[in-house]
């Protein structure tokens, strides 16, 4: 199964999920989420979204895009100069229809669009300075300064951490149900649990005037487990309200340190067992002599 998840950058909550098989590209799945976007929304996408098709489709929905340029070579001598490494350029429609678009959808796209390209430098202590090229449909340099667009794109990494919370902290990386119907229910349970924790974190941040980004997701999950157990034993509604207030206060007091430019490497924590994969019937494994004991 492959998932394409639409997150809220403000709260980290899951807004919508598109599901497909493993061989479907993420852009094909994302096209099923277009109706969930509203006018004047700003979509942050990784490098896979920095191309003509997605920018043109979102412009038809009055939705703006911030992404890295995928494969186009930018000629910085062309277009209208807005500032240093900041230009308006025209992207023209290609000759080939992408496989994930129907002929009708391809024909509905405009022949060309005006986009804004920026070259920004990302500096992190202990790392080499990295230069990235961004593309956006936010064309007004006064209303949307280049620095703010760069900072908005850098905040996209927070959504990668939200996805890590969903898969690693909650344990959604391995599903245990066997039938497709039960897998759907299991996924829904994970999404509900994730959004419940995000809602509690947002409530704690709002009531105690703290930075939402500094409330620990893992800490919120552990505190909620203890609070739910205590609330189940509470005799009165007043006691349950007191426990709930204590929970929010605990989350607001136990903040994670400021970690600007935080980077989490993509690595697997769970080591695989040294056994062959059971990718054929067990009886056939026995006949082939592939089932063996490993010390």
Whole-number percent of the chain with pLDDT over 70: 92
Per the CB < 8 A criterion, the answer to whether 221 and 254 are in contact is no
Beginning with the edge strand found earlier in the chain, give each strand of the sheet holding 64-68 in spatial order: 42-44, 64-68, 130-136, 112-122, 86-92, 80-83
| Residue ending a domain, choose from 136, 154, 172 | 154
3 domain residue, yes or no: no
The pTM (predicted TM-score) of the whole model is 0.80
Per the CB < 8 A criterion, the answer to whether 90 and 74 are in contact is no
Half-sphere exposure of 129 (CA within 13 A, CB side): 5
The residue range of the domain holding 144 is 37-154
212 domain residue, yes or no: yes
Within this chain, do residues 104 and 195 fall inside the same structural domain, yes or no? no
Within this chain, do residues 172 and 130 fall inside the same structural domain, yes or no? no
Pairing of strands 80-83, 130-136: unpaired
Q: How far is 2 from 85, CA to CA, in rounded Å?
A: 37
281 domain residue, yes or no: no
295 residues of the chain, pLDDT tens digit each: 888 889 999 899 999 998 888 888 778 888 888 878 888 899 998 888 888 888 998 998 899 999 988 777 788 888 899 988 899 999 988 888 888 888 888 888 999 999 999 988 777 666 565 788 899 999 999 999 988 998 888 888 888 888 888 988 898 888 888 888 999 999 999 999 999 999 999 999 999 999 998 999 999 999 999 999 998 888 899 999 999 999 999 999 989 887 766 666 667 777 777 777 777 788 887 776 655 544 4
> What total number of domains does the chain contain?
2
- Res 243: pLDDT: 93
| Digit-coded pLDDT (tens) for 174-209 | 888 888 899 999 999 999 999 999 999 999 999 999
Within this chain, do residues 90 and 46 fall inside the same structural domain, yes or no? yes
Task: Write down the H helix ranges in the chain.
Answer: 26-30, 52-60, 103-108, 146-154, 157-164, 180-208, 217-233, 237-253, 282-288
6 domain residue, yes or no: no
| Residue ending a domain, choose from 154, 173, 204 | 154
- Res 126: pLDDT: 60
């Amino acid at each position: 199964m492959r998932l394409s998840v639409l997150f809220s950058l403000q709260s980290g909550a899951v807004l919508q999920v598109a599901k497909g098989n493993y061989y479907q590209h993420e852009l094909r799945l994302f096209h099923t989420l277009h109706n969930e976007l509203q006018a004047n929304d700003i979509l942050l996408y990784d490098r896979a979204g920095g191309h003509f098709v997605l920018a043109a489709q979102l412009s038809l929905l009055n939705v703006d895009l911030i992404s890295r340029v995928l494969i186009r070579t930018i000629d910085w001598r062309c277009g209208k100069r807005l500032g240093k490494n900041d230009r308006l350029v025209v992207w023209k429609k290609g000759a080939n229809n992408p496989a994930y678009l129907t002929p009708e959808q391809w024909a509905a796209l405009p022949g060309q669009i005006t986009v804004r390209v920026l070259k920004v430098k990302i500096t992190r202590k202990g790392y080499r300075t990295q230069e990235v090229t961004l593309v956006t449909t936010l064309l007004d340099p006064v209303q949307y300064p280049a620095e703010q667009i760069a900072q908005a794109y850098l905040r996209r990494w927070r959504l990668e951490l939200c996805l890590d919370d969903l898969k690693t902290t909650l344990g959604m990386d391995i599903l245990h149900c066997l039938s497709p119907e039960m897998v759907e229910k299991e996924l829904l349970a994970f999404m509900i649990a994730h959004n419940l924790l995000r809602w509690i974190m947002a409530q704690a941040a709002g009531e105690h005037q703290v930075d939402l980004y500094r409330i620990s997701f893992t800490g919120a999950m552990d505190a909620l487990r203890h609070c739910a157990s205590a609330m189940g034993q509470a005799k009165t509604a007043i006691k349950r309200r007191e426990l709930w207030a204590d929970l929010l206060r605990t989350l607001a007091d136990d903040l994670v340190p400021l970690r600007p430019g935080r980077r989490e490497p993509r690595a697997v924590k769970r080591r695989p067992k040294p056994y062959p994969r059971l990718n054929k019937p067990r009886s056939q494994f026995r006949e082939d002599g592939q089932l063996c004991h490993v010390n």
